[in-house]
Structure 1
Amino acid sequence: MKLLHLILLSAATASAQFFGTSSSNPTPQARHLNVTADVAFPAAPLDLAARPRLINGVATTVNVQVANQEAEPIVVEYIGASLVDTARNVVVKNFTSAKVGTVLESELQLDQEYAFTADLAEQVLNLVVAVVITTPAGEVVSVQAYNGTVFIVEPEASIFDPQMLFLYILLAAGFAGTLYVAYNTWIASVQPKQKRKFDTPKPVAPVVLSSGTGAQYDEGWIPEHHLKKPQVKTRAAGPTTGRKVRKVVE
């Protein structure tokens, strides 16, 4: 109880300084008040029936129920929570208090949501949730709503999580780069080099000519001026011979 009182004292004092409480005495008193408080946890991420869990980075929203059995109305000022290491008797984490400031009449109940987010290493701690109440006489009284063991855990990883997909891409790129460097360093350097194949000239289609006898042969190697056919001119012979003479003109 002494540790709980110190927790509520620090939480209430910090909340009063931040929100500017009008009460002249913001220190929570350790006297009995006919007011009950309870906490209802959602099914996820906290499951009190199996294993209470606070998931790092995931906001936990609880429903704080305050019932006033006093003859006079009260004022629900703040709701706060802390994580306590009971083995060492120290406060590990003080969550930010939530300002409520609701007047609760006699015989009535208040349902108020309160959210907090854990960001610690995986471990087992005690979760303490308390309500700071102001009486008509100006007293500030703390009422415990919950005090139980919780497990601080990391969120479950999913293969479809964008951060995990980005990590997979980085790992795949690094693995591919390592394989490329290893191949060029130890495999490609010891492989025998292939002989270079020189380009062979493209075959030239031969020029095929037909002779008078019907035989075909390649005349690509014959000079051009030898391929010209000679022109034959005929002239009349002299009166004494009576023969015609042909003259070959190239």
Structure 2
Amino acid sequence: MRFQTILGYGMGLAAFLQIAAASPLDEPEVLAVASFPEENAFGHVVNGEKNNVFLAVENKSDRNITLQSIAGSIHHPETNALVKNTTALTYKVPLLGGAKIQLPYSFYSEFKPGDWRLNIWIDHTAEGEKYRVQAYDSIITVVEPEVSIFDFKMLSTYAIVIALLGAIGYYTYLSFAPQPKKRKTPAVSAPVGPVTATGAGGYQEEWIPEHHLKKPKARKTKSTTLTSGDETSGAELSATEGKRRKNKK
């Protein structure tokens, strides 16, 4: 009986130790507070831009922990319905007991301008166990970025769009516009056979057209020169006419 009693005590002690080993340890006390930078005191989240948040983490326990990641989510301000999770950043930074650290966190917003609820948390592990600590839970205001005509991004975007439209328009013009007709220039016929040069001032008659080789015939003109006989008869006629005029008088 005594042996059985001792055996029973031993089995009970082993079961107690097994239960104690299986029971989880208490969660280490870790504080995390997220805040926007000083230039964004009202907590405005700008669409299409990188929004920065800083997390101050303090390990108030005497156990060492490892900061695994920081993540967040956007919720409806009234129903708290999940809209979208933000980007999760992995750190895996060890944090000793009683130590403090500040970690940056950034995310992008593509939501309708207005009020939304933002949640940010940090995941850490301690002795193989994973824990989550809430760092931010508040209403934020999503706004559109300010538009400026001198914005480099906007100007570069306009330049790229204009260049693409110009290239498309030029390609369309070349594809559908009627092409101008090319004028045909008469081809200059080259002389057949070799060309030989003669001496100074000489030429070859086979290269000259036939109608240029024919010499024009001299035209016959009537001579208007009076002979001596003609001159004598003319003088006699003039004398006879003079006598006739005197007789009439």
The TM-score with structure 1 as length reference comes to: 0.50
* Equivalent in 88, 94, 99 of residue 97 of structure 1: 88
Give a deviation string over 1:183-211, Cα, whole Å, max 9, x none. Answer: xxxxxxxxxxxxxxxxxxxxxxxxxxxxx
Equivalent residues in 2 for 1:163-178, closer than 5 Å: 166=158
* Matched residue type, 1:34: E
Partner of 2:147: 157
2:31–2:59 CA contact under 8 A, matched in 1? yes
* Matched residue type, 2:129: E
Is 1:131 aligned to residue 122 of structure 2?
yes
Q: Runs of 5+ in structure 2 lacking a partner? A: 1-23, 163-249
Equivalent residues in 2 for 1:25-174, closer than 5 Å: 33-44=28-39, 46-47=40-41, 51-136=42-127, 138-162=128-152, 166=158
1:148, 1:81 → 2: CA distance? 12
* C-alpha RMSD of the superposition: 3.3
Shift in alpha-carbon separation, 1:92–1:102, aligned structure 2, 3 A: same
Q: Runs of 5+ in structure 1 lacking a partner? A: 1-28, 171-250
Shift of 1:32: 5.5
Shift of 1:33: 3.8
Question: How many residues are aligned here?
Answer: 146
Shift in alpha-carbon separation, 1:41–1:163, aligned structure 2, 3 A: closer
2:154, 2:58 → 1: CA distance? 46
Shift of 1:162: 4.7
2:74–2:83 CA contact under 8 A, matched in 1? yes
Shift in alpha-carbon separation, 1:148–1:134, aligned structure 2, 3 A: same
Give a deviation string over 1:64-88, Cα, whole Å, max 9, x none. Answer: 1110011110011110011111312
1:36, 1:152 → 2: CA distance? 27
1:40, 1:98 → 2: CA distance? 17
Three-state SS of the structure 2 residue aligned to 1:115 is strand
Shift of 1:37: 0.3
Give a deviation string over 1:13-47, Cα, whole Å, max 9, x none. Answer: xxxxxxxxxxxxxxxx9x85411001131134x32
1:153, 1:42 → 2: CA distance? 17
| Larger helix proportion of the pair | 2
Shift in alpha-carbon separation, 1:62–1:89, aligned structure 2, 3 A: closer
Shift in alpha-carbon separation, 1:163–1:78, aligned structure 2, 3 A: closer
Give a deviation string over 1:126-156, Cα, whole Å, max 9, x none. Answer: 11110001111x2211101111110011001
1:164, 1:96 → 2: CA distance? 26
1:141, 1:74 → 2: CA distance? 10
Q: Percent identity?
A: 28
Shift in alpha-carbon separation, 1:163–1:139, aligned structure 2, 3 A: closer
Three-state SS of the structure 2 residue aligned to 1:89 is coil
Partner of 2:208: none
